[in-house]
Amino acid sequence: MSDGTRRQIDEILTLLELDSTYHEIIVEGRQDVGIVLVALAESDGQAEVSVFAVDDRLDVPSSEFSGVVGESVGARGRVLAAARQVSEAGNFANITFIADADFGHVDDTLPSYECLLFTDYSSIELYCFEERVLTKFFLVGLRATFEIQFEELSRALLNPLVLIFLCRWALIDSRIDTGLVSALKKRCSLRGGVVDVDVKGLLRDAVQRDGPGRIHQRVGELSEKVSARFSSLSGDLRQYVRGHDFVELFVYYSSARWPELFRNDRAGFRKAEITAIALLLTLEKADLLRHEMFVRLLDRVGRKDEAA
């Protein structure tokens, strides 16, 4: 929420100094505000907590972006820049910033500030890539008369999503535009119940848009870079999946695998933006508190989960 007044960081810090029982949480967007409020619901603690989207609360001047790793001037960059400014001021006990990890897990570029938390996966949508959440979406949203096999769904989607994520990472690292979403489904197909991604085709589309010259060689180099990085990944692969890509491929795969579930009044779920909202609405507090970031968040704001 916002009172309509954006403030400088030093103004916020002065306000927080005056009331040690008050805690502010700053996130990237208004949708993130809602997810954080779900995690905080019915938790017990002394502090009053408010959650704001960064552009509703802070005026972060462009001069603060110098040195913020890999950032263009967007909401994530403003969150990181503000967190760095607060950290340097040394007064961060009752303010917390939350940002998407984005590519930070793959290139180890997550800055470490005590007041800053990153999503456990690349973005907030990946908290929906859980068996309970997807099962509920199928049974309630799509009115499926069967329970999905989550292992089958993961097997069909996870590796392709990671490859797409690494294509984006390799292109960014090579200073090439990453506008892949429009061509994403054109470069995907279903083979043996699994989404097959034409990695070289995706890279070629991006390289050709970037300009003529050495296209075959550049695509080959980028493809080798993706393959090498893919083979070296470890841990939970959802760290290496872009949120929008997850929803796009989830809709692509599910509507092809079970087309009868996407007919009549459920046809709207063929649109990724509608399914993304539905999946986020399916998230419950218990789903979020299974993840480290939300556990750390409750600890920072001095809240205790009453159900624990």
Taking only the tens place, the pLDDT of each residue in 159-202 is 999 999 999 999 888 887 666 656 788 899 998 889 999 999 98
pLDDT at 248 over 50: yes
What DSSP assignment string belongs to 204-235?
HHHHHHH-SSSHHHHHHHHHHHHHHHHHH--S
pLDDT at position 216: 87
Tell which wins on pLDDT, 305 or 28: 28
pTM of the model: 0.89
SS3 at position 58 = strand
pLDDT at position 42: 72
- Averaged pLDDT for residues 98-124: 92
Instruction: Write down the H helix ranges in 30-141.
Output: 30-40, 54-57, 75-89, 104-107, 131-136
- Averaged pLDDT for residues 112-125: 94
Percentage, residues of the chain above pLDDT 70: 88
pLDDT at 150 over 90: yes
Which residue ranges does the chain devote to CATH 3.40.50?
9-120+291-305
- Four-residue CA torsion sign, 55, 49, 242, 175: positive
At the second CATH level, the architecture of 9-120+291-305 is 3-Layer(aba) Sandwich (3.40)
